[in-house]
Amino acid sequence: MLYHLHELGRAWMQPWNYWAEANARMFGAQGSWLSSLPGASRVSAGYELMYRIGKDYEKPEFGIHAIEKDGKSYPVVEREVLKKPFCRLLRFKRFADDAEAITEFKDDPSVLVVAPLSGHHATLLRDTVKTLLQDHKVYVTDWVDARMVPLADGAFHLDDYVAYIEEFIRTIGADNLHVISVCQPTVPTLAAVSLMAARGEKTPRSLVMFGGPIDTRQNPTKVNDLATEKPLWWFEANLVHAVPPNYPGHDRRVYPGFLQHGGFVAMNPERHFQSHWDFYQDLVKGDLEDADAHRRFYDEYNAVLDMPAEYYLETVDVVFQRHLLPKGEWVVRGEAVNPGAITDTAVLTIEGELDDISGQGQTRAAHALCTGIPQDDHRHLTIEGAGHYGIFSGRRWRTQVYPQVRDFIARYSGQ
């Protein structure tokens, strides 16, 4: 009943949220006589803080409509390439009106960005995608909120995740494709490429893995400890709930996004409290730029999705508790996952020095598994001073990480 109680509380809070938003505007809007009253800025700031703490956060848009390159602006159009019940394969297509740019765009390598299905929407990788668009044709896995998927569409297992990635690679074509996986999907992505290689299928030219749990026995973090200190039945009994009847996926068993979000916040509660206090102070001082940056961050951070229960539980079991991939014991739909079967795909792993989600060494472990790849086609980067999100988003990503990723992809393109 927890999910149902959450929905009841959310519905009960809606009038208060509308009231808080209206008061924030009345006491803060220019031209409103209430904004000229003594202390109006503090009243407005308090109401907006109340509104943002209690409001619903819907899935944000990618909002990538143009890119800047060599001092010129080029429009970008988001297109749906393939639609599956639990995921959409999107392409961000660049357009130009001069022959030189058109030829350059046409010759750029293709990149499939496999976004994590671990609580947040794929839009969390907006900065990653926008930066990659400067030099690549970019495709992204846009995972669907499980509460929006009707029961008639069936279950979604970890094996299905692997199969989805295989299908996406075939749809795009592996000839000049490079696959980037961020965090959680490093495991199913490596499995997908391994299975394709073992069957003799064409594999992507390179595989770039960011901060993922390839082998969580290496430098375990608090996230890893939580997954191992409780038995699997505990996760099913305490974290899996049925979707309420007001959603298309009603009665589907899921790991609700609001529980995952609570876990995110609980990892650094002081940081989030301070961030909200700073937001209040910025509003009072009239520092609209910093206040708007806070809004943008939490509009993304607070927007979460539900995960199918079977997929979530199998991930905890296979990846975090039994470590089947690094042990060489993982079997997907009757086929053994053997990364050693990969021979024609270069591998780059990237870790953050201060990553508190995937500890150092967990992603790098992929190199020891990919024994069939020539040593010259292995590369690893550790980004000093970077946390988990800093390796694929923000200033460090754009200035330190991306140039090396771009050059690595270029090295294995067009051969």
Local confidence band at 54 (pLDDT 50, 70, 90 cut-offs): confident
DSSP bridge pairs for 346: 206
**Measuring CA to CA, which residue among 338, 312, 310 is closest to residue 324?**
338
Average pLDDT value for the chain: 93
Rounded to whole angstroms, the Cα distance separating 415 from 412 reads 7
Band (36; pLDDT cuts 50, 70, 90):
confident
Taking residue 36's Cβ as centre, other Cβ atoms within 10 Å add up to: 10
Strands 206-210 and 177-182: parallel
The listed range with the strongest mean pLDDT (36-50, 278-292, 335-349) is: 335-349
Report the alpha-carbon distance of residue 49 to residue 154 in Å, rounded.
40
pLDDT > 90? residue 341 = yes
What band does 174 get if pLDDT is binned at 50, 70 and 90? very high
For residues 182 and 128, is the Cβ–Cβ distance under 8 A? yes
> Out of 127-131, 225-229, 340-344, 396-400, which region has the weakest mean confidence (pLDDT)?
225-229
| Range with the poorest average pLDDT among 59-68, 217-226, 391-400 | 217-226
Q: Supply the pTM of this predicted model.
A: 0.91
| Position 153, amino acid | D
The yes-or-no verdict on residue 356 having pLDDT over 90 is: no
Res 101 pLDDT > 90: no
| Residue 268 or residue 148, greater confidence | 148
Q: For position 300, what pLDDT does the model report?
A: 86
Position 104 scores a pLDDT of: 87
pLDDT over threshold 90, residue 243: yes
- Confidence grade of residue 211 (pLDDT, cut at 50, 70, 90): very high
Q: Is the separation of the CB atoms in 213 and 362 below 8 Å?
A: yes
Domain 72-412 has CATH 1.25.40.10: no
Q: What are phi and psi of 271, to 5 degrees?
A: -65, -40
Across the range 144-154, mean pLDDT stands at 96
90, 81 contact by CB (below 8 A): yes
Band of the pLDDT at 323, cuts 50, 70, 90? very high
Q: For position 31, what pLDDT does the model report?
A: 83
In the chain, domain spans: 1-54, 72-412
pLDDT attached to residue 241: 95
Residue 131's pLDDT band, with cuts at 50, 70 and 90, is very high
184 has pLDDT over 90: yes
